[in-house]
Amino acid sequence: MRQIIDERTGGTVRPPCGAEPHSALHGPSHAPTMRIAAHVTVLHEGDPARRIMEVVDGAVMLSKLLPDGRRQVVELLGPGDVFGLAHADIYACSAETLTPATINTHDRSALERDPVLGARLLRRFEAQLCVMHSHALVLGRMSALERVAFFLLRLMPETMVGGTLHLSMTRQEIADFLGLTLETVSRAFSELKRRGLVVLQRADEVRIQDRGSMRRLAGAL
């Protein structure tokens, strides 16, 4: 059995589990904005789906569980990304903050009425669907080393060239995202380090040393 839901609530209130997280800190009742600590589960897979959420700031991780406890992190979200999707009025994924996050929520009924919101979500869904397509390629066809290289490139935007990337995920979370075990992820990091493609200041601080080789490994992201 595996530890699934991390309850290191960073000191902030947790929204009323699975029901309506209506803590209106800012904004009107139909689109409240919430400030949430890191490592808080915002949504539970299987709960009734009443709201759609938008990440304003911070990072959120969506995951799904198999009955026997195997977990897959299906999406990593940043500012602008949308979650709280549903099949048959049931949330399809759990959502957990990776960092402190600001989240905007909309009532699903508002979706029908607000065409501006609809247009924004449409663009965002298209982008997220494209990312999922790439991720299917990663999960279905790439080796462990390639997956980790891809992961790091994805987290390190072109802009920040020489910067140090802070990973806000544990090896286990990265493994669940990449369809590997934490040991294999760790070995892959060590191998990338050994080859001189990355430098690990600490376990959660990476600097990409040789971006060209990384790209080649990741199949040209």
Partner DNA sequence: CGAGGACTTGATACCGTTCAATACCGGTGG
Partner DNA sequence: CCACCGGTATTGAACGGTATCAAGTCCTCG
Residues that bind DNA (CB under 7 A): 143-145, 170-172, 179-187, 189-190, 200, 202-204
Q: Check residue 1 for interaction with a second copy (CB under 8 A).
A: no
Q: Tell me the C-alpha distance between 17 and 5, whole Å.
A: 13
Which of residues 5, 127, 203, 221 is near a second copy by CB under 8 A?
Answer: 127
Which is closer to DNA, CB of 126 or CB of 183? 183
Q: Tell me the C-alpha distance between 179 and 117, whole Å.
A: 34
Which of residues 87, 161, 162, 202 is near a second copy by CB under 8 A?
Answer: 87
Tokens of 132: 């999922």
Alpha helices in the chain (DSSP H): 108-113, 115-141, 144-155, 171-178, 182-194, 211-217
The piece of 6-14, 17-25, 132-140, 164-172 that touches a second copy (CB under 8 A) is 132-140
Minimal distance, residue 219 CB to DNA, in Å:
14
Q: Tell me the C-alpha distance between 33 and 25, whole Å.
A: 6
* Closest to 118 (Cα-Cα) out of 131, 132, 106, 130: 106
Q: Check residue 74 for interaction with a second copy (CB under 8 A).
A: yes
Out of a second copy, DNA, none, what residue 64 binds, judged by CB under 5 to 8 A for its kind, is a second copy
> Residues interacting with a second copy, by CB under 8 A?
62, 64, 66-68, 70-72, 74-75, 85-87, 92-93, 111-112, 115, 118-119, 121-122, 125-130, 132-137, 139-142, 176, 178-179, 219-220
